[in-house]
Amino acid sequence: MFRKVIFSMMICLFVFSSISYAHSGRTDSSGGHNCSQKSINKGLCSGYHYHNGGSSTGSSSSNSSSYGDKDCSDFNSYDEVITYWNTKGYSATYDPENLDGWGNNVVDDGIPCEPPGGYDLSKVNNSTYQQAAIDEELGEKAGYDKGYTDGYQNVTKNSVSGGSSAYKLAYENSYNTGYLVGQKDINEQKQNAYNNGYSLGKSQEELVVPVNFKSHTLLASSFEEGYQEGKEAYIEEQKEYYYSSGLTDGEKDIYNLPDISEQVFLDAYEKGYKEAQEALKEEYSNKGYEAAFSMIEYSNPEIDNEKLITWFKEGFESNLLVKEIQEEAFNLGKSGEDFVIPENYKQGKTIFTYYYEKGKEEYISPVPFVATAVAATGVTGYLILRRTRKKQIKNLKE
């Protein structure tokens, strides 16, 4: 009877050991097991591997019964692995089921099992990847906010100090973006402030900086700058208006000084009037000068303005070239030479012709000859001789 009991116990022990060794989901007596085909297909494991500190010596983890003894191959998807990991609150330093080290008691990076390529590791709680994502998000927000503020205030760029590498990198990139946006916004608002100030300045109203611009130094400064330039623009426009009025009156020779108190505008009118008068004087002086080339004897132009007549006569008398033409033409005729107008005298053809004939008459009928003829022949002979000379002059002209 005793033998039968011993034999039965041995049989049970053998069967239990065989079942334990062959189980694919739990560890065998060595602390490991073969990866099932299902787990291999899901990419969760491959071949024989150990769990919970197991080794070839057959040792097993003391935590296997306390923590459920989960294995990477026990999950249907990697998202299921992460859900389990996060629910348990596991981390690189707290991983009682050795999911992170694949059962080898290895302190890894806080990422359980082996993630598929491209998986978002920031989903894994307590991992370095999640912390990096958190730091990156914090750095991006802090960097942008600080950059925008510095750009908006138009201050020198600042660099980040402190924080993880992920935080610093995100901070720097976002800071530069925020700085540019801040500068863009403040420049647009400065232009708006300038335009408002400019309009106020042109209206000549008193300088009062609005509250929405006064609260920011740069905006207040832009508003005041616009105001001053608007005020100056108004003055320049008014000066131009009164200058043009002076020109118009000066051209008409009408002096009509505006009834205003601002000396700067009165000066502008006087300037325009004076310039127009000078131009008018030059115009009529030139007309007189040109008239001298064709006018044998001076006569006033047919205008009622004494000032213009005076300028005309001054121009007429200033034409010294006409006097030279008169002299040259007269001498040419008096010498008996042929009538030829030099190129530089052709402008005064009328004057040249007239004085050439005067000289020619002297050449043909000199005074001494006339006196002798009168004495010798008497009046009747003189008249005959005079008709002869006129005929000769006529023939010469033809």
Contacts of 215 (CB under 8 A, 6+ apart): none
Residue type, 145: D
Tell me what pLDDT residue 20 has: 39
- Does residue 222 contact residue 212 with C-beta atoms inside 8 Å? no
Percentage above 70 pLDDT, the chain = 72
Q: Is 97 left (phi over 0), alpha (psi -120 to 50) or beta?
A: alpha
Q: What is the pLDDT of residues 136-168, one digit of tens each?
A: 888 888 889 989 999 998 888 887 767 788 888
Q: What gap in Å lies between CA 225 and CA 229, rounded to an integer?
A: 6
Tell me what pLDDT residue 347 has: 92
- Does residue 146 contact residue 133 with C-beta atoms inside 8 Å? no
> Which of the residue ranges 101-110, 325-334, 379-388 would you say has the lowest mean pLDDT?
379-388
Q: What is the pLDDT of residues 171-215, one digit of tens each?
A: 888 999 999 999 999 999 999 999 999 999 999 899 999 999 988
CB atoms within 10 A of CB 320: 10
Q: Cα 28 to the chain's mean position, in Å?
A: 76
DSSP string across 208-242: ---HHHHTSHHHHHHHHHHHHHHHHHHHHHHHHHH
Decide: pTM greater than 0.95. no
Tell me what pLDDT residue 16 has: 40
pLDDT band of residue 242 (cuts 50, 70, 90) is very high
Tell me what pLDDT residue 36 has: 60
Highest-confidence segment of 46-60, 67-81, 126-140, 258-272: 258-272
DSSP state of 36: P
Rg of the chain on CA atoms, in Å = 59
- Does residue 309 contact residue 279 with C-beta atoms inside 8 Å? no
Backbone torsions φ then ψ of 96, nearest 5 degrees: -60, -25
Q: What is the pLDDT of residues 62-88, one digit of tens each?
A: 333 345 578 888 898 888 888 998 888
pLDDT band of residue 89 (cuts 50, 70, 90) is confident
Q: Is 370 left (phi over 0), alpha (psi -120 to 50) or beta?
A: alpha
> Could you tell me which residues are beta bridge partners of residue 49?
33
33: three-class secondary structure by DSSP? strand
